[in-house]
Amino acid sequence: QNVENVELGGRYIDLVRYNVDGSTDYLEVGEMLQNGMPEARERVKLADEIPALRKSDTVTFVDKMDTSRRITYRRGDDVEAKFLDNR
């Protein structure tokens, strides 16, 4: 569901999917660097969102220029240490 009124960690998410098991999948779309890491301003946003995830929730970052480039984060992940090659 395309939203921008759902808050996660004080930030607004681009898309959200509520799952039958009670978990939620959040999606952020933005610019990804050549090295497979979200650009700095996106990492700042993700760093606020990741700690707000519940146990089974995820937040996936999608490169707006190539939607096949995705990184999924779970609670406890370090946004500065996770990029395409080590997802």
Q: What is the pLDDT of residues 6-59, one digit of tens each?
A: 999 999 999 999 999 999 999 999 999 999 999 999 999 999 999 999 999 999
The pLDDT score that the predictor gives to residue 52 is: 97
Would you give the DSSP letter of residue 40? H
Q: Global pTM?
A: 0.90
Helix ranges, 1-87 (H): 40-49
How does residue 5 score in pLDDT terms, banded at 50, 70 and 90? confident
